[in-house]
Amino acid sequence: MKKPIFYLLLFVFLGFSSCKSAKNPTQLKSPNGNIALEFSLDSIGAPHYQISYQGKELVSPSLLGFLADRNFNLADNFDLKSSHLETYYDEWDAPWGENKHHINHYNELNVKLENKEGTHLTLVFRLFNEGAAFRYEYNIAKTDSVTIMDELTQFNFLNPATTWTIPADFESYEHLYRKLPLDELKAANTPATFNFENLAYTMIHEAALVDFPEMTIQSYEPRKFKANLAPMPNGTKALVPNTFHTPWRTMHIVDKATDLIASSMILNLNDPCVLEDTSWIKPMKYVGIWWGMHLGIQSWSIHDRHGATTKNAIELIDFAAKNNIDAVLFEGWNEGWDTWGTNQEFNYLKAYDDFDIEQIAQYAKEKGIKIIGHHETGGNIPHYESQLDSALNWLTSLGIYDLKTGYAGAFKEGYRHHSQYGVQHYRKVVEKTAAHKITLNAHEPIKDTGIRRTYPNSMTREGARGMEWNAWSEGNPPEHHEILPFTRIAAGPMDYTPGIFDILYKNTKNLPERKAWNGLDKGNSRVNTTLAKQVALWVVLYSPMQMASDLPSNYEGHPAFQFFRDFDPDFDKTYPLEGEIGEYVVIARKAKENYFLGAVTNEEERDLTIDLDFLKPKTTYQAIIYADGKDADWSTNPESYEIIKKDVTSADTLNLHLAKGGGTAISFKPIN
């Protein structure tokens, strides 16, 4: 790892000419000069910022600050005491990720303010080549703590844009994305992605959300938004010490939609890894007792067609060992599922009688297969935290070092999932699992803001509409998968759980009759893609813990499953090749000596010509292409596919035909 380099930027280097600015600069440019930011105080001493991109105004003057309880002024009456400019360059390596090598290069404007009420505020602005970030650092005199009532941060845009967002829901991110004109957008969660045509693609989000409520954005005038924080039960937003800093408020600003994919900016705004040893943290492929329960042919509870039995577990372990799969996930293994909908008090130390966890753990160890444990909380956080330490100790005593958590249910006493209370709990679980050398996959989580840099055991999470919605609702439309890489997954990995081969659920006819899960099955449920697209999604929808989610019986003897056998989720580098939000996307990824490519499209069929210049030069590869069949169509003939093999080099191109709602997956293996 290269050592960080700090130095004060020369005033002339940044291209500013005002003598006043030389003493206390208020302007900043990105290292490549494309993004410019200016800070100002208005007539009442309230701080503002504005941003331009390639010489065109993008964000008009926008207010900064917070409202606290009536005893403290965090918002205005400020004087500028000092400011200075810095630049920073560092290179660092992650133990896993879309890219393992990262460059952290930014210019910083540090502005120190003070008001007559004794509030000291430092505003830290950073401009990267791919975007802007800022945070607040407060020091409030004559108090030990402060109650935050509201955030005043604004994002005021001048130009029209197309937006892709989900609603500003403080409980769940599992919504379909809406494509709306910027003028019609009223409120949204982040990441919120905008296309300002002929200007830039932007994505508003936050980084290093550690001990603070999540931020959403709310319109107060057309094209103008302010931050809105998830509240506590009493309506306040956060309780903070007298010296505190906020998460980073971030805005990617790039030329192409594909530049949003695999950016390092969110990670670079988080603290470096605090774990001395990360050798135990490995990407993995897994299967599990999961899809059958969402289909309704199995259940979490022991009383009705129980899925997590010793017999099923042994069969899954054998399947994983035979198919080059690293791990098996077991849900519904522990006592307490019978309490669902009441007190929801799970026992994380006691398996159901038909699940011999000691025998299963020993058998998995003999077969070289990892077990992914499962802790569903049902939203009962006090109960889960009361057992957390003993439950983690018990898992490790069984040789289980991987865990999936779940929060499908309302929190007690009116707390919101995404409030400061929720953020603190999710962080606690990350830290405690790290102390036990356990990796974590969180469902119904707080959104990803880059914690995986600091705690790389936090490997993946849900936080969007995933595969299970296809089992008991109208499902996710074909365009959903072409939106996620530019929105939710641009913020971090997602456990979408792709890989359903029985698209129309024809093969469930020989299994127990499907029951409507939780009363949600609408009777027309199916997966709204082609089979080839399901294969391609293993590449496109990034997760270091990647699941083959279908029933193992649907993979047995299936030629297309060879892709997952060959697939390696331990990537070294990602190549976002082509794409437009909601339309199509093509991504290639390098894993050791092999490469994998995924191309997917929305409801429109598409012909693409892809340059293979991302491959290692002077090397011949066997390309194994899993493509839509000539008559494939997501709605009428989704399971038509073909497998083609050809030798290629980095000098070649490939012509891909994607059916409606279809895709192509390719594995590249060197042969010389």
Question: Among all residues, which ones are annotated catalytic?
Answer: 468
Amino acid of residue 665: A
Cβ partners under 8 Å of residue 202, min gap 6: 58, 131, 161, 193, 194, 196, 251, 252, 253, 254
Residue 426 CA to residue 540 CA, distance in Å, equals 27
Residue found under tokens 């119904």: 444
Q: Please answer whether residues 370 and 328 qualify as being in contact, where contact means their C-beta atoms are separated by less than 8 angstroms.
A: yes
Cβ partners under 8 Å of residue 178, min gap 6: 163, 164, 165, 166, 167
Q: Report residue 176: phi and psi, to 5°.
A: -75, 145
Select from 210, 209, 204 the least CA-distant residue to 227.
204
Q: Please answer whether residues 641 and 530 qualify as being in contact, where contact means their C-beta atoms are separated by less than 8 angstroms.
A: yes
Give the CA distances from residue 263 to residues 99, 108, 126, 192, 592, in Å, rounded to whole numbers and listed in that order: 9, 19, 15, 15, 21
- Would you list the DSSP string of 421-480? HHHHHHHHHHHHHHHTT-EEEESS-PPPSSHHHH-TTEEEE--S--TTHHHHSS---TTH
- Would you list the DSSP string of 352-392? -TT--HHHHHHHHHHHT-EEEEEEE-TT-HHHHHHHHHHHH
Select from 457, 558, 492 the least CA-distant residue to 261.
492
Tell me the two tokens of residue 561. Answer: 């499953």
Cis peptide before 191 (omega within 30 of 0): yes
Residue 52 CA to residue 29 CA, distance in Å, equals 10
Select from 421, 424, 436 the least CA-distant residue to 373.
436
* H or E element that contains 335: none
Tell me the two tokens of residue 528. Answer: 């709204």
Q: Is the four-CA dihedral 649, 651, 656, 661 of positive or negative sign?
A: positive
Residue found under tokens 């509409």: 465
The DSSP symbol for 310 reads H
Cβ partners under 8 Å of residue 447, min gap 6: 173, 189, 190, 191, 209, 214, 418, 463, 491
Amino acid of residue 627: A
| 488: helix, strand or coil | helix
| Paired residues of 162 in beta bridges | 181, 195
Amino acid of residue 175: H
